[in-house]
Amino acid sequence: MKSHQLQALIEGMLEAVILVDPITLRILAANRTVHGLLKVPEESLRGKGIVELAAAPEDIFFWEDVAAGLSENIYSETLLECSDKTVVQVERRVSLVRVGMDNSIFVVAVRDRTSQKQTENELEKLIAELRATLESTADGILVTDLDGAIRSYNHLFADLWGLPDELMTQRDDAAIYAWMDKCMIDADRYTERLGTISRSPLMEASDVLVLRSGKILERVTLPQYARGRPIGRVYSYRDITQKLADEARLQLAAKVFESSTDAIFITDRDQRIITTNPSFERLSGYTESEMQRKTPRDFFAAESNVDLIDQLLAKLEKEGCWEGELWNRRKNGHAYLCMITLVKVQDDHNKTLHYIGFFKDRTETHVAKQKIEELAFSDALTGLPNRLLLSERIKQSIMISGRDNSNFAVLFLDLDHFKQINDSLGHQFGDRVLLEVTERLKKCIRQVDTAARLGGDEFVLLLHEADAAGAEVCAQRVLEELSVPINLEGMSFTVTSSIGIALFPDDGTNMDDLIKNADSAMYHVKERGRSDFRFYQRQMNIGLLSRMKLDHAMRQALEHHRFRLHYQPQINLSTGEIFGVEALLRWNDKDLGEIGPAQFIPIAEETGVIVPIGNWVMQTAISQAAQWNRAGYSLRMGFNVSALQFQQANFVESIAATLEEHQLSPDKIELELTESVLIRDVEENLKKLESLAKLGVKLSIDDFGTGYSSLSYLKRFPIHKLKIDRSFIDELPTDESDVAIVTAIIHLAHAMKLQVIAEGVETEEQKNFLLNMHCDEFQGYLFSPAISASEFEEKFL
């Protein structure tokens, strides 16, 4: 559909409407309502990227999702930036719509929601009233959904549990639950009970909770209903410490005390130990009678620093609780590491009654943890930090940069062609190269920076407090350092690297985003020749997601038989007879419409899906050629072979097997190879070409003159035809350079006893020139475009 038709289609709509190309994400058309909403001149939006209208970073990620094809119909709220820099809050719906038979577009419908503000304000007032009701209750209230996510709680709840101010000012359910776990004396049983309640949405329960602070809470749990269905839970907490009799409390404490696997001691108000439990004697070797009248300071000062003990006891006195690790000695003299919790128990008038100490032996855990950390945080080969330690370093850099309002940089490095070293010289040799690269990378960074290995030949450099200029200097230093030849076992060679750079906070605020974006920038370096560096730009992700979307669509097309072949006749210039056809790949996607080979073939070669696509083309083309030849039409079938497909070890055998399967003579197919295919692994390719020629298959060089032509290769390879690229035909016979090039190719081919065919012939002048130059064959729109098999049969057979 033409752009003026699209414009006319949407102008009659009341909503603001934008039409967007699904591949490039550029605006095809927008109605007057959109222009008025954004306060821009009419027709000024056409051709712009839809991302340019975004007023918030979240919208960039939204369009990345759209580019990735994550949804076909998306409704959301967002912000749009007007020409006068004001921001409009809108509702937006994005739909993928089929236009005609071959194309699709994104239809973006936008509605100004300013009028909804009054309603929202009234809703906020109602919520405030409900909040006031919640705060007026006599119990501490916690409201969650069915999955345990916290919806609300009142201040009395926070007071009962002693929530710190920082937890009350941020939305962090996990931190609140962790704090509540920490407050419990029997945290495991508490967690188990919560699990039972969460698995039973209709359950009503009442529990008694004993906190480390000495408080005892009664918890009543009730399901919360809306319209007759459970939607969450309401927990009410009441401090019942005063209601419990001292005797009952002592009996409960005695049970816990005697059966606990933790070593426990209890002191009087002066911190003199009055009792210990059986686990205390098993762990320390001291009996209860030996410990009576001693203080925690006497017990722990034997091995630990006296000043440290005094500090922790002062903190216990001030805060009511202390938890940490201390080294101590058993009665037999053996040292051990213990995990200790000390609690001050007070009455209702904040008068100290007792101190309770809990501790466990953590010696074996400590030793194992040290070993695990050593293995877990470093790369086994290079000794560099691995991804886990890099994550900790990046988190630390984020914290420092957030505090100091500074920047840091992440450089993602991938060694160029490193796979060839492993494949040709072995992995042990490759490991030695990685060790040499590691030493060179260490020279390129400061002591405060981090060099990490993610795996394989991928490295990351974390540059502390570095801006773009600092990152560029480091990247240049790495390129220079790696450009110096490596000498190993008498061999001298150079290993280069492609580097992508992401900066905090512009290119990401967490490790995953920073590394992903640096990797995306590195990928663009690989695309443009390697051995260089590049800074990340937001458009990279959209381009990468578009490529990923096409790659997925190609694999689906192959699986569901959505590819097809069209056939372009090839003509003998002297006789005017059709002697053969070239099979050309076509693809009409159900969502994206007709997609040209120039769009999807490079991506297919990049991702490797070109191999199964090429095999499908080979099977289909040979099958069609066999049908026509059995019907009495002697036609030669030509089709392209990609470099990856040609490099497959069983390529010659698969050609032979397919010809045998369809009972087609080998001289009835012609494989079209690019010059780049031939110059890679020359000796190996020569063997394959000779095997194909011996089989009887015809071989031609496609797009001759656009690659790395070599007369020595032409002389050695069993080629029978050259195809002149259409770029040299377009300006014939007026362009002198094209005339000279085409003439030279024809003379060269004939001198080497090769046939020559011209593609892309569209005018009689071009045809006559080629005929006068004694070109043998041609194909192009002058005679016929590529058409389906049925159309070809109807028109020419």
Average pLDDT, integer, range 471-486? 92
Q: Please say whether the beta carbons of 38 and 87 come within 8 A.
A: no
Rounded to whole angstroms, the Cα distance separating 47 from 67 reads: 17
Proportion of the chain in helix, strand, coil states, percent, rounded to 5: 45, 25, 30
Question: Within 10 Å of residue 626's Cβ, how many Cβ atoms?
Answer: 20
- Whether the per-residue pLDDT at 671 is higher than 60: the answer is yes
What is the pLDDT at residue 666?
96
> Binning pLDDT at 50, 70 and 90, where does residue 56 land?
confident
Q: Please say whether the beta carbons of 409 and 470 come within 8 A.
A: yes
Question: What is the CATH architecture of 246-340?
Answer: 2-Layer Sandwich (3.30)
pLDDT tens digit string along 618-634? Answer: 999 999 999 999 999 99
Q: Please say whether the beta carbons of 566 and 637 come within 8 A.
A: no
> Binning pLDDT at 50, 70 and 90, where does residue 374 land?
low
- Can you name the CATH fold of 377-536? Alpha-Beta Plaits (3.30.70)
Rounded to whole angstroms, the Cα distance separating 508 from 518 reads: 10
Tokens of 761: 């012939």
CATH code linked to domain 550-796: 3.20.20.450
Q: Furthest-apart CA pair in the chain: how many Å? A: 119
pLDDT tens digit string along 144-187? Answer: 988 888 888 888 888 889 888 888 878 888 899 999 999 998 88
What is the pLDDT at residue 83?
84
> Binning pLDDT at 50, 70 and 90, where does residue 303 land?
low
For CATH 3.20.20.450, list the domain ranges present in the chain.
550-796
pLDDT tens digit string along 17-35? Answer: 998 888 888 888 898 888 8
Query: What Rg do the C-alpha atoms of the chain give, in angstroms?
Result: 38
What is the pLDDT at residue 613?
95
Q: Please say whether the beta carbons of 410 and 461 come within 8 A.
A: yes
144 vs 71, higher pLDDT: 144
Rounded to whole angstroms, the Cα distance separating 490 from 730 reads: 52
Please tell me the least confidently modeled range out of 153-157, 224-228, 734-738, 756-760: 224-228
- Whether the per-residue pLDDT at 649 is higher than 90: the answer is no
What is the pLDDT at residue 373?
66
What is the pLDDT at residue 4?
67
What is the pLDDT at residue 715?
80
What is the pLDDT at residue 647?
86
How does the average pLDDT of the chain come out, rounded?
86
What is the pLDDT at residue 70?
67
For CATH 3.30.70.270, list the domain ranges present in the chain.
377-536
Please tell me the least confidently modeled range out of 27-31, 239-243, 300-304, 548-552: 300-304
User: Under CATH, to which class is 3-112 assigned?
Assistant: alpha beta
What is the number of residues in the chain?
Answer: 797
Amino acid found at 475 = A
What is the pLDDT at residue 576?
94
pLDDT tens digit string along 549-582? Answer: 888 889 999 998 999 999 999 999 999 999 999 9
What is the pLDDT at residue 571?
97
> Binning pLDDT at 50, 70 and 90, where does residue 710 land?
low
pLDDT tens digit string along 741-774? Answer: 999 999 999 999 999 999 999 999 999 999 999 9
Identify the CA nearest to 574 among candidates 720, 750, 757, 751: 757
Identify the CA nearest to 501 among candidates 477, 519, 483, 513: 519
User: Under CATH, to which class is 119-243 assigned?
Assistant: alpha beta
> Binning pLDDT at 50, 70 and 90, where does residue 539 land?
low
What is the pLDDT at residue 633?
93
What's the gap between Cα 262 and its chain centre? 45
Q: Please say whether the beta carbons of 407 and 465 come within 8 A.
A: yes
Amino acid found at 341 = T
For CATH 3.30.450.20, list the domain ranges present in the chain.
3-112, 119-243, 246-340
Helix segments in 560-635, DSSP class H: 597-607, 610-630
Helix axis angle, 682-695 to 651-661, nearest 10°: 20
244 vs 33, higher pLDDT: 33
> Binning pLDDT at 50, 70 and 90, where does residue 122 land?
confident
Rounded to whole angstroms, the Cα distance separating 501 from 505 reads: 12
Rounded to whole angstroms, the Cα distance separating 90 from 86 reads: 13
- Whether the per-residue pLDDT at 246 is higher than 60: the answer is no
> Binning pLDDT at 50, 70 and 90, where does residue 461 land?
very high
